[in-house]
Amino acid sequence: MATKIFLPRLGESITEAVIGKWLKQPGDSVVRGEVLAELETAKAMMELESPAKGTLLAVFAKPGDTVHLEELIAVVGSAGEEWDLKEKDQAETKDTEPAGLVVDNKDNFNNEKKNVLRLIVSPNAKRRAKELGISREEIAQIKKEGRITALDVEALIRGKKELFQEIVPFQSIPLNQIQAITARRMQQSMQSIPQFSVSTEICVDGLIRFIEKKKTSEDPKLTITAVLIWKLTEALLKHPRLNSRFENDYVIQFSDINIAVAVAADEGLFVPVIHQVQKLSIEEIAKTLYEVVEKTKNKRLSVKDTIGATFTISNLGMKGVTSFIPLVDPDQSAILGIGALHDNFSWGSTSDIHHDQVITFTLAADHRVIGGAEAADFLATLKLFIETL
């Protein structure tokens, strides 16, 4: 009996993937657990394994296609086995609905009755139309009868672009999978979370001395970010409310502290996770941070490396950015933005000038979970822990 292969749940918040390439083709023999295809998601490269032994009878997506959770993408069975294509057709037409365009009856202008043009719109076409900002009425203009597919929708938007390009020349640059999902997550963040931010400057002279004292040629992995994660974890233990998320009028407060670190790569923004940081020493944090950043650069992140984050830090200091307001991840309640190291001069009580090296820290938080005073107290605690190193 044929085994139908659907896109499985690949991890937290991952509901779609792009087919990178097929390692097996229809007609090839496969064994259970053998990799059929490489998948690209917003967080990592993953593999699609065969759940059964047999022959790959069919595939329903080509390299570059986006497939969604529980979408039928392949079939494995006995060589020459006949299997029912109707299930594939039913899967595509499930939850379809009329385009809903109402057309005036021109033969009888005063007739109150309307002729309703009922078009079947496939789920992929609806998803693509939503992504491209195409209305239902525009979809109904595509053709007067038959089933609307994603290709029809894309053809419509190409026509719009060609018309616009006659007036204003432009280049259309598609987002890759990582960029597209990051864009949707950030849109979700702004639309669904009432966010606010607070900032403070923290003297890091002691932090720099600490690193210079601890860092040796045998252990080059100790960085400012590693030490900040260490002290951030101590502050979160004092203020556990920030290690949480909002869900259905409840605050889900996490027992473990799993710190996500935003890492920019050529393909887009990756956010690998260091798990159970409260159990790690500063040396272990530095080593783990180095490893996940290297995995990110070499495209070797696993699913485990990308899920379960409870708090995020984003450091743009190396880019020369002195301060910025990051966006809260929808699955968390706060994120810490870290700016560039810069000089600060101030007058002392005896009219002498003090010179310090400081970093601006900006906490963005979900106001449903965290109040302004609580956010300020958290930054004060973090400031104390860093400045007393």
DSSP letters, 48-93, are EEPSSSEEEEEE---TT-EEETT-EEEEEESTT----THHHHHHHH
Res. 308: pLDDT tops 80: yes
Which H/E stretch holds residue 269?
strand 268-270
Res. 82: pLDDT tops 90: no
Quick one: pLDDT at residue 67? Answer: 85
Overall average pLDDT of the 247-258 stretch: 95
pLDDT digits (tens, 9 = 90+) for 137-190: 777 666 545 567 777 777 776 666 555 555 556 676 778 777 877 888 888 898
Cα distance between residue 228 and residue 205, in whole Å: 13
Q: Tell me the pTM.
A: 0.64
Question: What is the secondary structure of 235-252 as a DSSP string?
Answer: HHHH-GGGSEEEETTEEE
Torsion (CA) 93, 98, 99, 101 in degrees, nearest 10: 160
Quick one: pLDDT at residue 361? Answer: 98
Fold of 3-91: OB fold (Dihydrolipoamide Acetyltransferase, E2P) (2.40.50)
Span(s) in the chain for CATH 2.40.50.100 = 3-91
Angle between helices 372-387 and 205-214 (to 10 degrees): 50
Cα distance between residue 1 and residue 77, in whole Å: 6
Band the pLDDT of 287: cuts 50, 70, 90.
very high
Res. 216: pLDDT tops 80: no
The tokens 């044929």 sit on which residue? Answer: 2
The CATH-assigned architecture of domain 178-387 is 2-Layer Sandwich (3.30)
Q: In percent, how much of the chain has pLDDT > 90?
A: 41
Residue 332 near residue 365, CB atoms below 8 Å: no
Which H/E stretch holds residue 184?
helix 177-192
Quick one: pLDDT at residue 243? Answer: 97
Selected residue with higher pLDDT from 312 and 173: 312
Angle between helices 224-238 and 205-214 (to 10 degrees): 120
Quick one: pLDDT at residue 43? Answer: 63
Beta strands 72-77 and 54-59 are antiparallel
Quick one: pLDDT at residue 218? Answer: 56
Cα distance between residue 263 and residue 318, in whole Å: 12
Q: Which residues sit opposite 255 in a β-bridge? A: none
Span(s) in the chain for CATH 3.30.559.10 = 178-387
E-assigned strands of 107-178?
A: 115-117, 120-121, 147-148
